[in-house]
Amino acid sequence: MNEESTEMWYKGGRSDKVYSVSLLNSSGNNWDVRFAYGRRGASPQTGYKTQNSTYHSAKEIYDKVVSEKTQSGYNITSGGSMSNMTTSPTAKKSIGYIPQLLNPIEESDIQFYLDNDGWCMQEKFDGRNRLLLMEGKKAIGGNRKGLEVDITAEVKKELLSLPDCVLAGEDMGDSIACFDAIHIKASYLERLRMLNTTIGHLKHIKSIYTAHGKKDKTLLLRKLKASNAEGVVFKQLDAYYTPGRPASGGSQVKFKFYATASVIAGPVNKGKRSVSMFVLDNGVKTDIGNVTVYPNQSIPKPGDILEVKYLYAYKDGSLFQPVLLQIRDDIDEKACDIKQLKYKKEEE
């Protein structure tokens, strides 16, 4: 039973902050978990997660704090029994950045963003959130949690040809559709211009089309709907990059042409290529029907997180016409909440 300490840092956008947590023996069999956090170089805020606890209870709290911080994008810099997370060949490392995540809007909100010249519009792609970090001679990818993930050899080669940068986009399999350069401390319009100048000549790291003005945005919206695209995103041109997802609203929002949901895979249905689906209702798993697994898709294991699209959900029932999109390894079970479902409007 040894004392431990872990120091972590996070840098992204205009944020540069540190967080430390310590497991300390206060006296005899009593153990404390103490924390300190704040902007780098400033006086930290301090406090306790627990005091005068048993070692095992305090150790569990200490490990949970470290795990939660690294999952949210903090990078471990020194100390702690879990510091091997940054060196283990099987563990995912934090890259020090997390993407800006978007809140959804309703169809009735779209006209505001079409009319407002302070907002641009882009296609919302059906891929996975991907960060690209070029730093010195290091070129790596990151997921929506800010954890390091593999990128293709072609993408890595092109990333190595760029100056130091942190790009945000979506992984489309053989290429990355990029829409932001989050290392630049400037408005989105300036970041977009710099991004297009930097990667406009590349093949596997691609810039995407951005519509400006009411006419251009309206035409693109019609085109994307007609082509069965996933949806659109609106971005405030004078806004700075903000990591993570705001509680509501935000300077970047999304609208999907069809509903999607994150669900928990259940057992495979006997004799069929389909699995049951569950969501969490106040923490309790609730059955919402089955989804077919097509021959070109891997059979999910019970407990896997699945991304599915559907037309609507029935109250106290299942999803109507669900389609399995992919198995997710970049979100947690808590994302599979029943509150995300969109229900069929009841007839009067």
- Per the DSSP assignment, residues forming a β-bridge with 234 are 121, 253
Q: What is the pLDDT of residues 192-235, one digit of tens each?
A: 999 999 999 999 999 999 999 999 999 999 999 998 888 999 99
Q: Domains of the chain: which residue ranges?
A: 4-86, 103-251, 259-340
State the pTM of this model: 0.64
Fold of the domain spanning 103-251: D-amino Acid Aminotransferase; Chain A, domain 1 (3.30.470)
Range 4-86: architecture per CATH: Single Sheet (2.20)
Residue 44 pLDDT > 60, yes or no? Answer: yes
Please give the pLDDT value at position 68.
Answer: 83
pLDDT digit string (tens) for 299-309?
A: 999 999 999 99
Architecture of the domain whose range is 259-340:
Beta Barrel (2.40)
